Chains A and B, each alone.
Chain A
Amino acid sequence: MQSWFTFELDGEICRIENESSRGTLAGFLADLDPLFSHYAESNPWHGGAPVILGEINGIAPRFRCVDANLILLPMLADTMVWTPEGIASLDPGHPAVGVLGIEHVECGEARRMAILSLFFEGYYRPDLRRNGQINEQLDCLVSRTSDVNAIRDAARRLFASAETKRHEASQRAAASGSQNEVWTGKKDIDNDRFTKALFIKKPVDSLDYVDRHKYRFHRPLTLADLQRLRSQYPDAKVIAGGTHLIENLENMESPTLISIKEVAEMQMIRTNQEFWEIGAGVNLTRVSEAIGGEYPAFLKALTKFGSRLVRNRATLGGYLAVASDTGQLAPLLIAMDARLILLSADGERNAPISHFYEGGNRTILRPGELIRCIMIPRGSESALSQRGMTTRLCDTYTVGPRRCLCEPYITGAFAVELREKTVAKAWVAYTGVANIPVRARQTEDFLAGRLWSEETVFAALNTLFQEIQVTKKDVGHASADYRKQLVMTLFQKFFYQHPTPRDVKPVEQGITQEFSLHDQPFFDSVV
C-alpha cells in the first residue's frame, strides 16, 4: 500500500499525497489554482471540462480528450495530463491555439478552453480525415453561446493542416522506401514537445493507493492480480472507465475500488477468422477504431453515445455492467450477435447479450463475477460466406431529444443475414420500451425463411405490434404511444434504407450528407 503517487500535469511532475481516492481531477484542479476554478462548476452533461490524457494502450500512443469530472485522481497515476490552460500558456503556441485566436466563437473563457482541448485531440487523430467527423469530435459542446459555424471553420482549417502534414510525411516515407506507419499513428510525425514526451512515456505501473480515509484504490496489471484482489476484498467495486460510477460515488459504500483499466488481458482487442474478442476495459473509441470498418453501424451508434469525452473513457464492459435500460448500444450488440465471456473464481462462462440483462439494472453477473471480454462474430465477407450467407444487413437507430449527450427515447437495432434474397436469420432489438433491452423473437422467427421485401416487412409489423409492449413510462416528453410507434417505424426505416442485399452501408444522419459535406475529406489528395 502506498499513500502517494505522481502524474505529469502540464509537463511537470505532480505528486499527490493523502488526497481522497474518490476525488475527481476537476475538483483537484479547482483547488489547485484559481485559474482552474471553473472546473469545479462544470457538469458532464453540459460539455464537461475537457482535458487531455496521454494514453499508450493499444496500437499507438494517443492523446485522448477526457472529462476531468469523470476521472478519479488515482486513475491518473503515472499518466500524462495536459489542461487546455497549460497548452495555451506554452510558447511557441500549439497550432490549435492559433486557429482559436479568432474571437467570439464562444462566450466565456472556460468554454473556449474546452474547444481548445477538443481541437488538440483532433489535431493528433490520424483517423480524423473527413468533414463529417468534425461533429463527432466536438459533440460535447452543448450551449446556446457558441458560434458553431465559426468553430467548424476553425476546426476545418486546423484538421486540414494536420492532414496535409500527415500526407507529406507518408509521401516521404514512401519515397524513402520505409514502412508507412503514418496513418496508424505509430510514428511521431509531429515531433513537438507534446508528442515527444508521449512517445517516450513508459507504461503505467500497478498501483495500490490508500488515502487518509483509508479508502483504497487498486490498479492491477494482470488478470491474476485482479482475481487475487477481488478475493481479498469481496466487497470491492470494480471500476472500468468510471464514466457512470463517478457520478454515483457518493452513494457507494465500499471503501475499495479496483480498476480494470490497466489489466493487460482486458485491454486487448484480438481477432481471428470468426470472432472479434474485445477486452472489457477497452474504451469505446478504440473499439470503434478496430471494428468500425467492418461494422459501420457501430460507428453510427457511437455518434449518439454520450460525447467524445465519454466515449474516450467509457468501456464496453462498463456499459454492459451498468445495465442502463435506455442504453444505445445494447440493441446493436444483440443485432451483432455478440456474446460475453464472464469470469469468476470458478472459471469462465459465456452468455449471449440478450440473456445478460435481468431487468431493473440487474444482470446475470454473480457476486465476484466480472465481464472479461465481448465476442463479436466477424462481419467480413469471407466470414459470412463461411457461414453460407450472402450479406449481413445491420443498422441501428436512436431517437432522442437531441443528437448527442441525451437520454434517448428509444433505440432500435436490426440485422438480417441473407442467403441470396431470403432472410436466413434476423435480429430485432430495442431499448427504451421496457426496463430491459427487448428482443422481438417472434418477429425474428417470422422473418426467417422469407423474402427480404416490402410485403414481408409489412406482414412482420403485425407480429411486431403484438409482440413488443411499451411498459416503461414516459421518457422526457416521449409518451408510450410515441415510442410504440417508433418501434414500428424504426423497423420500417431499416427496411427502406436497406431494401436489397447491396445496401449494406448504414445511412448516416438521414439523407443530409450533401449539406453536412459528410464525406468530403479535409485534404483533397487523400485517397
Chain B
Amino acid sequence: MSDDHDNITPFPSPRGSEPPREEPKSFRPEVQSRPRGNVSFSTGVEMERQKPGQDWRSSHRRLYVVLLGSPHASGSIARKDAMAARAVRGVEAVMFAEDLGRYNNTLGDQFKNEPLLADEEVCYEGQPVAIIAGHSLEACYEARDAIKIDYHEAPGILTLEHALAMKSYHGGAHKVERGNAVAGIDESPRKLRGSLIIGPQRPCAEPVPKIRVNWLQVGNSVEVSAPALMPTEVRTAVARAAGLAESAVTLDPGALAGPANAMELEPVRLAALATHAARKTRSSVEIVLDPDSPLFRGQRHATRASYEVGFEDDGYVHAVDIRLALDAGFFASDSDIVLDRALVHSDGTYAVPNFRVRAVLCKTNSVSSSSMPAEGAAQGSWVIEEIMQRVADDLGLPAHEVREINFYDDRTDIRSAPYGQPVNGPAISRVWGHVIKRSDYYTRFQEIQHWNDRHQNCKRGIAVTPLRFGLGDPRHERNRGMVLMQILPDGSIQVRPSVVDLQDGLAGQIQEEIAVRLGIGEDTIRVLPGDFEVIAQATPVLGVDVAGLILRAIEDACSQLIHSLREVALQLFAARGENAIDMDSIFFADGLVGSRSGSVEPLTFNQIIQGAWLKRVNLMVTGYHRTPNLWWDRNTGTGWPFSAYTYAAAVTEVQIDTFTGEVDILRVDIAHEGSPTLNQGDRDAAQLARAFSIGAGWVLTEAVPDPDAPVTELFSADQGISGFTGAPCIFESDRLRPSTDLASAPGDPCSEAPVLLGCSVRQAVWNAMQEFAGSTHLEIDLPLPATPPAVIKALKEISLQMDRLSHQETHIDDGRNVGY
C-alpha cells in the first residue's frame, strides 16, 4: 500500500520554462543507484514470495476477494448454501447478505440505500450475492463454483422501452415550464412530433481499478486504496462497512488519468464490499473483478426523448413540449441529479416562449447508471438541437438559419431560462458569430454542395451547433473547494487541494496562480492533490466547476498569507528605520517584497519568510471557497442552480463513405468561452479537445455492445473508443474572453461543456445524408451513435424512399442494394 505513494506523479515541473524539464532528474531517483546485476535477481524465489497474496503465512495476510454475481436480471433467491464453498481449502470467508450485519447491507442514504449484497431478490444481472475471500484466486473461484443458490427467475425489464411500457419509474415526473406549451403548439401554424433515442456510453474498461483494503490490527483502523473521483465518499462507505469512525480510515486514491476514465459510484460500492471481507477476515484484501462484471462497467443514462413542436413558416419556434425518460438502472443511486441537469439544459440556447420539459427516471433491471462528463446536460440539450434540425428539415431551410432566429437574444423579451436563471443572449451571438467567421462557414457550406455534386460515393456534410452549459452542481453542497497551503522555512510552498489527482494539468494551473500572486517562481511550489489525510472533503470532479473552486480557494489562501507577510514586511522595514510605509502598498513580485510608496529597498521573499518564522507567524493556512447564492427546487422546477453559464459553438465537417457507412471527421472549429483566470490557455485547449472527443465518440462510434453478446475478447468492450487515427484531421479552437456573467464567477468552462459540441458531428452527418438524398426533403432517421452499420441502415432507408418517389426505375434484385 505504501508503495503506491511512489507512483504519484513526480514533482510537477514549472510550466513555460522549458527546456530543461525538471522531470527527467526526478524520474528515477532509485534506478541509478540500484544494482541491476545478479545481486538482485539471483534471489528470484524470494522476490516471487513478496508478490501480493502469496505471503499469507507472514504476519501481514493478504487475501483475494471475488464476488458471486447473480446470473439473472430479476428473480428471488430461494435458498443459499455455502457449506461446500466454505470447506474449500484456502478459503477464509464466504459471506451472504445476512453475514454483513443487520443494518450494514447498504451503501447509505446518499446512494438510495442500495444493498451491497442481494438478499432475497436479485435486481440485475451480475448483482453481487456473495463475497468470497481466499488465499488464492483459484481457491476463490473454486469456492464460488461450489456455492449453491436456487433462484426463482422472474421476467425482468431490460430495456428503456419496456420500462416505459410497464410504467416502471423511480418516483414521479419532474418538470420545468414556461408559458403554455400545449396551447402554444395548438395555435402554431405548423406542428411536428418525433423522438430521439440517445444510446449509452461507457467509461474505459481499462485499467480495472485496483481496490485494496487493509485491516490494521493495531489501532483499530483501516487503510483503503481505491482510485475514485470522489474518494471521500469511498471513505464514508468504508467507515460504515468497517463500523469505525471516518477518522480511523486512511485513504489513498492514487492518481487517475483524466475524469473520463474513472467513476464516482462504482469504487464506493466495491470498496464497501472489500471492507466487509477485510473486517470479517481481519486481513488485507484486494478485490478482483470478472472482466464482464457490471460493477465497474456502469454506463451513461440512456435516454428516450419524445417531443412535439409548434413553429411558424419562417422557422420561429413557438412552443416545445419534451418528454424525457432516462434509464437509471434499478437503484438510481446517482440519477436524480442527472435528471435535474437534463431538465435545466433542455432549452439549450433557444428562447422558446412556450416551453415544457418533463422527465422521469426509468427503473430497469440493470446496474445503476453512472455519470460521465456532461451527464444529463448533453442528453437534455441534444434533444432541442434535434428539434431545431427537424423544424429546418420540415421547412426546407438550412438548420443554421432556424437555430439563429430562435436564440436567446435582446430582440426577444425572454432573458432567462424557464427556471429563472438569466441567460446572456449577446454571449450566444458572439460565440456563434465568431465560429462562423473563423470557419468560413457559409463559403464552405456552398463548396460542400459542389463537392458532393462531383462525388457520388462519398458525401460531405457541415453543421454548426451552439451550447449553453451551466457551471456548477445544482446540489449546492457540492460547490465548494478547499486547499491547505503552507510555506516552508526556505520559502518553498506545499499546496494540498481538495481534489483527486487527475493529472490533467490542474496542478500546473495552481502553481501558476500562486506564483503570480506571491511573486515567486513556480519551481518551488509543490502541488499534492489527492492527499485526503489532511483534507476532509473532496471536491467532486464531475458536474462542478472544480478548477474554478480550487483556484478561488487558492486566492483565499494567498490573500491570508499576503496579509500575514505584509505585517512581517512592515516590521522588517521598520527595523531598518523605514517607518512611513503604507501596508497596502507592499507588493510581491519577482521574488522580492517591496513597497510602492517611496524608495524602499525591497527585501527578498525568503528574507520575509525567515522573518515570519522568527516572529512565529502562522504560515499554514486553509483556503476555502463556496459558490454563493445557489438554489434549486426540483419540485417546482425553479432556481438559480449554476454559478454561471458558459457558451460555445462548433462547426464540424464530416465525410461519409456511402459504401461502408464509415464517417471521417474532417475539420472542427470551436469558439469557446475560456477561463478568465491567469494563464489558463494551454490547459483549456487540451481540456476542450478531450471533452469534444468524448462527445464525438458518443454520437459516432461508441455503441454499447448487446448485453446478450458474450464477452469473448478482453478488448471488445471499448471497441468504439476512437483511436488516434479517428481524431479530426483539423481541430481548431479559439477561446474567447468570458462574457460578463462568467467573469464575475471565474471557472473552468472547457472541461465538460465541449462534450455537448459532439452534437455538431451528428448534425454534420445529418447534413451529409441530406446531400445524399439530394434536393428531395426526405425523412432522415439517424440513430445515436451513428456507427457504420447504423449509417448504412439510414442511407438504405433514404434510398428506399427515393425509389418510392421515382417510380420509373425498376428495382434490381432485392438485397443487392446496388448503389442503394
Q: Is the CB of A489 within 8 A of B725?
A: no
Q: Is the CB of B682 within 8 A of A145?
A: no
B461 to chain A, nearest CB (A): 13
CA distance A83 to B631 in the complex (A): 52
21 CB contacts below 8 A, A to B, read A14-B36, A31-B47, A37-B7, A41-B207, A86-B28, A93-B21, A98-B18, A101-B21, A103-B682, A109-B10, A140-B724, A143-B261, A146-B724, A148-B724, A148-B731, A407-B713, A474-B706, A477-B706, A479-B789, A482-B789, A492-B659
| Nearest-CB residue, chain A, relative to B683 | A104
Q: Is the CB of A399 within 8 A of B690?
A: no
Q: Is the CB of A148 within 8 A of B19?
A: no
CA distance A16 to B40 in the complex (A): 9
- Among B10, B204, B685, B689, which residue has the most Cβ atoms of chain A within 10 A? B689
Does A273 touch B at the CB level, under 8 Å?
Answer: no
Q: Is the CB of B789 within 8 A of A34?
A: no
Q: List, in ascending order, chain B residues with CB within 8 A of A101's CB.
A: 18-19, 21
Q: Is the CB of B709 within 8 A of A474?
A: yes
Q: Mark B589-616, 1 if CB is under 8 A from A, else 0.
A: 0000000000000000000000000000
Does B521 touch A at the CB level, under 8 Å?
Answer: no
User: Would you call the interface of chain B mostly helix, strand, loop, or mixed?
Assistant: loop
CA distance A516 to B729 in the complex (A): 5
Q: Is the CB of A139 within 8 A of B719?
A: no
Given contacts A103-B508, A104-B505, A404-B724, contact A492 B47 (CB under 8 A): no
Q: Specify which of B19, B260, B685 is in contact with A147 (CB 8 Å cutoff).
A: B685
The size class of the interface chain B forms with chain A is 35 or more
CA distance A391 to B468 in the complex (A): 57
Q: Is the CB of B703 within 8 A of A146?
A: no
| Nearest-CB residue, chain A, relative to B37 | A15
Does B718 touch A at the CB level, under 8 Å?
Answer: yes
B761 to chain A, nearest CB (A): 15
Does A512 touch B at the CB level, under 8 Å?
Answer: yes
Sample of 14 further A-B pairs with CB below 8 A, known A14-B36, A88-B27, A406-B719: A33-B28, A33-B30, A37-B6, A41-B210, A45-B714, A104-B685, A144-B260, A146-B690, A146-B724, A401-B720, A403-B723, A488-B818, A489-B817, A493-B457
Q: Specify which of A89, A105, A461, A477 is in contact with B705 (CB 8 Å cutoff).
A: A477
A345 to chain B, nearest CB (A): 36
CA distance A461 to B817 in the complex (A): 10
Q: List, in ascending order, chain B residues with CB within 8 A of A496's CB.
A: 456-457
CA distance A144 to B719 in the complex (A): 13
Q: Mark A121-149, 1 if CB is under 8 A from B, else 0.
A: 00000000000000110111111111111
Q: Mark B660-678, 1 if CB is under 8 A from A, else 0.
A: 1110101100000000000
- Among A86, A101, A477, which residue has the most Cβ atoms of chain B within 10 A? A477
B contact residues vs A (CB 8 Å cutoff): 3-4, 6-7, 9-10, 15, 18-21, 23-25, 27-28, 30-32, 34, 36-38, 41-42, 44-45, 47, 51, 204, 206-207, 210, 255-258, 260-261, 455-458, 502-505, 508, 655, 657, 659-662, 664, 666-667, 682-683, 685-687, 689-690, 693-694, 697, 701, 703, 705-706, 709, 713-716, 718-731, 787-789, 792-793, 813, 815-819
B462 to chain A, nearest CB (A): 13
Given contacts A103-B15, A477-B705, A489-B660, contact A148 B689 (CB under 8 A): yes
Q: Is the CB of B787 within 8 A of A397?
A: no
CA distance A493 to B456 in the complex (A): 11
CA distance A293 to B719 in the complex (A): 31
Q: Is the CB of B7 within 8 A of A477?
A: no
Q: List, in ascending order, chain B residues with CB within 8 A of A512's CB.
A: 655, 664, 666, 729
A209 to chain B, nearest CB (A): 13
Q: Is the CB of A93 within 8 A of B206?
A: no
* CB contact list, A477-516 vs B, under 8 A: 477-479, 482, 484-486, 488-490, 492-493, 496, 509-512, 515-516
| Nearest-CB residue, chain A, relative to B39 | A15
Q: List, in ascending order, chain B residues with CB within 8 A of A19's CB.
A: 41, 44
CA distance A489 to B257 in the complex (A): 41
**Can you list the 10 inter-chain pairs with the closest CB atoms, starting with the nearest?**
A108-B257, A45-B715, A104-B686, A107-B258, A145-B258, A148-B727, A515-B729, A403-B725, A101-B18, A34-B6
Q: List, in ascending order, chain A residues with CB within 8 A of B503's CB.
A: 107-109
Q: Is the CB of A401 within 8 A of B44?
A: no
Q: Is the CB of A485 within 8 A of B792?
A: yes
Q: Mark A438-459, 1 if CB is under 8 A from B, else 0.
A: 0000000000000000000010
